[in-house]
A = this chain, B = another copy of it.
Amino acid sequence: MPVKHLAEGSTKPNFIDGAIYLFSMRFCPYAHRAHLILDAKNVKYEPIYINLSAKPKWYLELFPAGKVPAVLYKGELLSESLLLADFLNDEFAENPLHSTEPIKKFKDRLIIENFGKVTTAYYKLAMVEYNSENFEELLVSLDYLEKELVSRGTKYFGGNDKPLMVDYLIWPWFERFPAISIVYGNIAKIPEDRFPTLTKWNHSMENDPHVKKHFLTGAQYAKHFQLRKSNDPGAFDNVID
């Protein structure tokens, strides 16, 4: 389903007291995190998509940093995807997403912390340029996750039953990896044989209902990246039919 990103010149939406709003951008992996967590916590919310290349004046007035994701909740504007995820988990009781064992929760948070290496390598590849060094940097950052999941011996990083916080917070980048080889060709294809356990996890995640709800194809992400890199104003609204 296509989504409309509100841009400069748009009218400020009418925010209803008691409703929860998520300011998002359909292709942003950080905002993607917030969608997944809100859905996994079964929180009813209204997404408002923002055109990040031509931000609405009303959004900058509401949130001078102008970033996504941000959640408007009880008059407060909450941002920073990781802090937001923990806040939502604390505030809404349904489906706790952290392990109740402190040591397990610590190890999950360490994965999320170290995941910065993956996001940095990915960004350089997808939004800047392909070169074999950048690509190897991404693969090395994924080696750590493969090893970690093997050592855990569980279906998800969070356990065997279902994805937990750690799974949802790292997922958005995995959904986008296929776009890299669509843009750059087979030299940028992540080799499944180097990551057999992570590949299985990837398939399990694709079947998670919350993941499915927001899923976009590699081709759609690829189209977004290409339009975005060439500053095409269609990068936001002309990708999803």
The reply to whether B87 and A91 form a contact with Cβ atoms under 8 Å apart is: no
B80, B87, B102, B106: the one within 8 Å of A105 (CB): B87
Q: Which of A78, A83, A90, A106 has the most CB of B within 10 A?
A: A106
- How many residues on chain A are close to B (CB under 8 Å)? 17
Q: How far is the CA of A54 from the CA of B109 in the complex (A)?
A: 30
Q: Considering the complex, which residues of chain A in the window 78-124 have a beta carbon less than 8 Å from any beta carbon of chain B?
A: 78, 80, 83-84, 86-87, 90-91, 102-103, 105-106, 109-110, 113
A85 to chain B, nearest CB (A): 10
Check B105 against A90 for contact (C-beta < 8 Å).
yes
Taken together, the copies of this chain in the complex come to: 2
Given A90-B102, A102-B87: A110 in contact with B80 (beta carbons within 8 A): yes
Within 8 Å of chain B (Cβ to Cβ): is A76?
A: yes
Please give the distance in Å from A90's CB to the nearest CB on chain B: 4
Chain A 57-84 per-residue mask, 1 if CB under 8 angstroms from chain B, else 0: 0000000000000000010101010011
- A109 vs chain B, min Cβ distance (A): 5
Chain B residue numbers with a CB within 8 Å of A110 are 80, 83
Query: Chain B residues near A80 (CB, 8 Å)?
Result: 110, 113
Could you tell me if A103 and B76 are in contact, using CB atoms closer than 8 angstroms? yes
A194 to B102, CA, bound (A): 41
* Cα of A78 to Cα of B110 in the assembled complex, Å: 9
A109 contact from B76, B83, B102, B109, Cβ within 8 A? B83
Whole-angstrom distance between the alpha carbons of A216 and B214 in the complex?
53
A90 CA to B100 CA in the complex, in Å? 9
Flag if B86 contacts A103 (CB, 8 Å).
no
Determine the distance from Cα of A106 to Cα of B86 in the docked complex, in whole angstroms: 8
Give which listed residue, B74, B78, B90, B102, contacts A91 with CB less than 8 A.
Answer: B102
